[in-house]
Amino acid sequence: MASSVTTRPLELGDYDAVVALWRSVEGVELAEGDARADIAAYLERNPGLSRVACAEGRIVGALLCGHDGRRGVLYHLAVAAERRGRGVGRRLVDECLAGLRRSGLRRAIILVASDNPSGRAFWRSRGFDPIDAGAMGVDL
């Protein structure tokens, strides 16, 4: 990955930039739980687990991460088109999984549409195995 990319926890102040990134990436589907208030509550319940990647003063990657005390869940991995293939997504995933491990969790899941073969291949490359038609999981 280019050395100019840094990562940090996602903050509510990042909301507009992150939503714009999510909307620009094929395969990321926003839903009713993605409103600002819902993301604020999610970040509050899961402090420091969600991550963003930044370069040249803007957000170029984002990943929501949290848990219910039993299983970790990753949502909405997105990397700006010009930064794909440079390790940004892998770094965000690895940092989120490390945070879940520090929280004492032993398993995480991700929902990936069955008609998203490149997304499913990426998650398989990160160690996730199919659970059913839309879910994949990995032991932490």
Q: What is the mean pLDDT of residues 101-119?
A: 87
Give me the pLDDT at residue 2, please.
47
Q: For residue 96, is pLDDT > 50?
A: yes
- At residue 39, the pLDDT reads 97
Record: fold of 6-105: Aminopeptidase (3.40.630)
Residues in the chain: 140
96 within 8 A of 49, measured Cβ to Cβ: yes
Treating both helix axes as pointing N-terminal to C-terminal, what angle do 36-45 and 15-24 enclose, rounded to 10 degrees?
110
- How confident is the model at residue 91, as a pLDDT? 96
Predicted confidence band at 134 (pLDDT cuts at 50, 70, 90)? Answer: low
Residue 57, classed as helix, strand or coil, is coil
What span, in angstroms and rounded, lies between the C-alpha atoms of 57 and 28? Answer: 23
pTM: 0.89
